[in-house]
Amino acid sequence: MSFPVTRMRRLRRTPAMRALVRETRLSPDRFIAPLFVRRGSGLREEIASLPGVHRLSPDEAVVEAQALRALGVPAVILFGIPERKDETGSEGWDDSAAVQETVRRLKAQVPDLLVVTDVCLDEYTSHGHCGVVRDEAVDNDATLPLLARIAISQARAGADVVAPSDMMDGRVGAIRRALDAEGFEEVAILAYSAKSASAFYGPFREAADSAPKFGDRRGYQMDPANRREAMREIALDIEEGADAVMVKPALAYLDVIAEARRRFDAPIAAYNVSGEYAMVKAAARNGWIDERRIVLEILTGILRAGADFVLTYHAREAAAWLREGSV
Ligand code: PBG
């Protein structure tokens, strides 16, 4: 029965009516907040290209995590800024490095916070690539044991979830086997499964000083044009033992999220990456957009597409806005 019997506007008439029929609910317990950590104490350096995001020393990361937890954000993901970069990225598996130290402190001081750690080499290598470089190319199989070492070191520090973001083939299986062999059967793997070679990572690379010194990442990260290939990547990671999978970036890839939701029953994460955040911040600073409404609309869109949870630099502010009940 169509108009005038059916009138779609009836269900939009009042805030109460709209609340009842709302299909997607934004809530801070669907956010993971990324934190950049480095050695030291009392450090809180703002990252120029990511206003509102800081490089934190472990003690300051605890303060930030407590604020997030108080706002209802259940989890953080840690990225390390090393003191020294080298060819193999050895600070990645140094038990006393910033990430490992921060994990220990978070587990001791914010015990109900879920701690996720990014497993990758690019922040730690002098050449900025996500693996062992041989003849100007990243050697897949030689990289796997190094990734496993990083994951084990993070698990030993107390990480709840390790999240490999390197895009080497077979890394989920290699990390799962290594964790199990060391008695870390309870540590979960959140795989960056469908990760594209994206220009949207620009501000992150400035934050972590991790831009590749030669070439680019197109030999291992995915071609942004490929949705079917993304499904193959996700299927392989689940087969290798991933507990949850990720699509990254989020906004130019909502169709990939939606297709993954239709095909797979595993939890799906989406990474609302640094470039997506930076564009919103820049436009907001210029007074061109209503930041609060834009952010909540973006996060709603990512969840509506089918993500179960979102990694987002907006986590703290968005959680505070949701608490105020501004939607
Ligand atoms: C790799 C990694 C990157 C991001 C997360 N993990 C950078 C890259 O692949 O170049 C990007 C996240 C963002 O842009 O917010 N360790």
The alpha carbon of 321 and the centre of ligand 1 are apart by a number of angstroms equal to: 26
Q: Residues in the chain, how many?
A: 327
Strands 31-37 and 268-272 turn out to be unpaired
Which atom of ligand 1 sits closest to the CA of residue 123? 16
What average pLDDT does the segment 195-220 reach? 94
> Whose Cα sits closest to atom 1 in ligand 1?
165
pLDDT of 236:
98
The verdict on the CB of residue 276 being under 6 Å from ligand 1 is no
The verdict on the CB of residue 118 being under 6 Å from ligand 1 is yes
pLDDT of 325:
79
What average pLDDT does the segment 274-285 reach? 98
The alpha carbon of 76 and the centre of ligand 1 are apart by a number of angstroms equal to: 15
d(CA 56, CA 43): 5
d(CA 61, CA 316): 13
Q: At what angle do helices 58-70 and 315-324 cross, to 10 degrees?
A: 30
Domains held by the chain: number: 1
pTM: 0.97
Task: Say which range, 36-50, 180-194, 201-215, has the weakest mean pLDDT.
Answer: 201-215
Counting residues of the chain whose pLDDT is more than 90, the rounded percentage is 97
pLDDT of 327:
47
Q: Is residue 299 part of a domain?
A: yes
Q: Is residue 316 part of a domain?
A: yes
pLDDT digits (tens, 9 = 90+) for 69-93: 999 999 999 999 999 999 999 999 9
Give the pLDDT band of residue 269 (cuts 50, 70, 90): very high
The alpha carbon of 201 and the centre of ligand 1 are apart by a number of angstroms equal to: 6
pLDDT digits (tens, 9 = 90+) for 227-238: 999 999 999 999
Give the pLDDT band of residue 221 (cuts 50, 70, 90): very high
Spell out the alpha helix ranges (H) of 8-76: 15-21, 58-70
Which atom of ligand 1 sits closest to the CA of residue 208? 7
Instruction: Identify the H or E element spanning 162.
Output: strand 161-164
The range of the structural domain enclosing residue 166 comes to 26-324
pLDDT of 209:
87
> Whose Cα sits closest to atom 6 in ligand 1?
165
Instruction: Identify the H or E element spanning 188.
Output: strand 188-195
> Whose Cα sits closest to atom 16 in ligand 1?
120
Q: Is residue 16 part of a domain?
A: no
CATH number for the domain including 60?
A: 3.20.20.70
The alpha carbon of 54 and the centre of ligand 1 are apart by a number of angstroms equal to: 16
First to last CA, the chain: 32
326 pLDDT above the threshold of 70: no
185 pLDDT above the threshold of 80: yes
> Whose Cα sits closest to atom 11 in ligand 1?
201
Q: Is residue 12 part of a domain?
A: no
Strands 137-139 and 132-134 turn out to be antiparallel
Q: Is residue 74 part of a domain?
A: yes
What average pLDDT does the segment 257-283 reach? 98
Counting residues of the chain whose pLDDT is more than 70, the rounded percentage is 99
Mutate to test the pocket of ligand 1, among 91, 119, 196, 201 (most ligand atoms within 8 A of CB): 201
* Average pLDDT score over the chain: 97
Mutate to test the pocket of ligand 1, among 129, 204, 279 (most ligand atoms within 8 A of CB): 204
Beta bridge partners, 247, equal: 194, 270
Cβ(316)–Cβ(33) below 8 Å: yes
pLDDT of 166:
96
Q: Is residue 212 part of a domain?
A: yes
The verdict on the CB of residue 205 being under 6 Å from ligand 1 is yes
77 CB-contact burial (10 Å; exposed 0-12 / middle 13-18 / buried 19+):
buried
pLDDT of 104:
98
Q: What are the backbone angles phi and psi of residue 91, rounded to the nearest 5°?
A: -65, -15
Active site residues: 195, 248
Q: Is residue 198 part of a domain?
A: yes
Cβ(194)–Cβ(246) below 8 Å: yes
Q: Is residue 174 part of a domain?
A: yes
